[in-house]
A = this chain, B = another copy of it.
């Protein structure tokens, strides 16, 4: 494997003609930034210069970095971590306490408002930038080769269109929902709409659910998020421009999924799959952690983390989990910032932070207890560690349902989680060999590619630099009106022709019949 890595590195080096490209990044603040950073660092290490647009109060996107120059816009638009943290903990509470649908809905509305607010701020950033003649002049003068953006917000799309430079997405979700649904034909009979927790094999009622999920979600996204961007588009690009089309005009979609995770589905030629691009072989653990891991002996280690947004859990949940862990012969490393659960066993180490990729890549690791964020799932796949999922919010239920469908995870509902249920889940994945075997198979498939995902992403970014876009891979069909795209006009035309022919036939036949039947009659008369 070592040889391969060197060879890929050499090969990439030898083919990348563009040296010192210039990339303008409009990221999505918050946890999405972690993904963008990986690509920025790689761009930097290959000799490209990167500028990152950031709101003045961003906690994630630092103002100074070795890897990029920052363009700080004096608008407070940073991700509201506090809100999201509280949102998740209130969600857990609601689920645990079986609160009324009304409470759930009102929390959902609060989330929707917060998203709208976020998009409003992004729009303000864009307006602020476009209004700053000096800034825009200096950006123009830099002559960026492309805009790289996470289209979970629309800022980068506006910027690229304004500057008339190629547009590259680092994407899983767009402003309008899952990225595939914005670009590739997605027959709802076998392409599950995300969040619906469906697979590519659906019965009748599941297909009905899928259609509902699609119609309502897409509608909601467009209604909730569309207006501010539409206003921006008509303000700067004139009334004839459709803001959804600007999205679809992207040259390249670097998609953060892979077909060991995504179900097979139609795709477009300008979609490059780079799921797992952040995974890498494990580095050695810090000494103390390594000692703890080694002390597990033949039983091995369980790693648990519910993501950066979940520092703590309701006291009773934490106790049930701690109790379950305490019954096991394995050692457990649990990222947990709350009060020490009373039932905590000697085998369980609580930590504030853990080197997740290195731990999952450790030969002693047996099991990963996870909330089901995409990054964690890909690390588990890469290192072939089966999972117990405890999904909490957003796309986590859906992500984990996919791993469950592939037989590589079991899923526990936070609403009903207790020591019995949790212990049963842990024991099942630890002792039923199919989980490990399935994860192993996914891992082998995932790793067996002509080019590693990060190298592939970089190859195609540099491709866009070299050729000033990738128009030959992009369909322009999004410019068609919907009735032409779906051939409604052609069908209506053909139907009309058929009807006219039928009518004509009917009239002629009637006339002929009339002549045949009535003439003799007249004679008789």
Identify the A interface with B (CB < 8 A): 3-4, 7-8, 10-11, 14-15, 184-185, 187-190, 200-201, 204, 207-208, 211, 259-260, 263-270, 444-445, 448, 450-451, 455-456, 459, 463, 466-467, 472-477, 480, 484-487, 489-490, 493-494
Contacts and interface: CB of A to CB of B under 8 A. Distances in A.
A7 B11 contact: yes
Nearest to A475: B264
Given A3-B14, A208-B493, A448-B463, A264 B486 contact: no
Given A15-B448, A188-B487, A267-B269, 4 more contacts: A7-B11, A189-B490, A204-B493, A208-B493
Contacts of A486: 187, 189
Contacts of A268: 264, 266-267
28 contacts: A4-B14, A7-B11, A15-B448, A15-B450, A187-B487, A188-B487, A189-B477, A189-B480, A189-B485, A189-B487, A189-B490, A190-B476, A200-B476, A204-B489, A207-B484, A207-B487, A208-B493, A211-B494, A259-B472, A264-B268, A264-B269, A264-B474, A265-B269, A265-B475, A267-B269, A444-B467, A445-B467, A448-B466
A189 B483 CA distance: 10
A256 to B, nearest CB: 16
Given A185-B266, A266-B184, A201 B476 contact: yes
A456 B188 CA distance: 31
Contact of A475 (B3, B14, B190, B450): B190
Contact of A190 (B270, B480, B494): B480
Nearest to A451: B450
Contacts of A187: 185, 477, 485-487
Contacts of A480: 189-190
B185 A494 contact: no
Report which residue of A188, A270, A448, A490 has the largest number of chain B beta carbons within 10 angstroms of its beta carbon.
A490
Contacts of A463: 448
Contacts of A11: 4, 7-8, 11
A159 to B, nearest CB: 24
Nearest to A15: B4
B467 A459 contact: no
Nearest to A484: B189
A46 to B, nearest CB: 15
A259 B269 contact: yes
A93 B455 CA distance: 55
A226 to B, nearest CB: 24
A485 B14 contact: no
A269 B264 CA distance: 6
A480 B203 CA distance: 10
Contacts of A456: 450
A14 B11 CA distance: 13
A170 to B, nearest CB: 18
A448 to B, nearest CB: 6
A7 B4 CA distance: 10
A473 B259 contact: yes
A15 B466 CA distance: 28
Contacts of A189: 477, 480, 484-487, 490
A467 B448 contact: yes
Contacts of A4: 11, 14-15
Nearest to A208: B490
A37 B382 CA distance: 37
Contacts of A473: 259, 264
A204 B265 CA distance: 29
Nearest to A2: B14
A438 B263 CA distance: 38
B459 A450 contact: yes
A494 B7 contact: no
A491 to B, nearest CB: 8
A472 B487 CA distance: 32
Nearest first, the 3 A-B pairs at minimum CB distance are A190-B477, A185-B185, A7-B11
Nearest to A406: B472
Given A200-B475, A259-B473, A472-B264, A490 B207 contact: yes
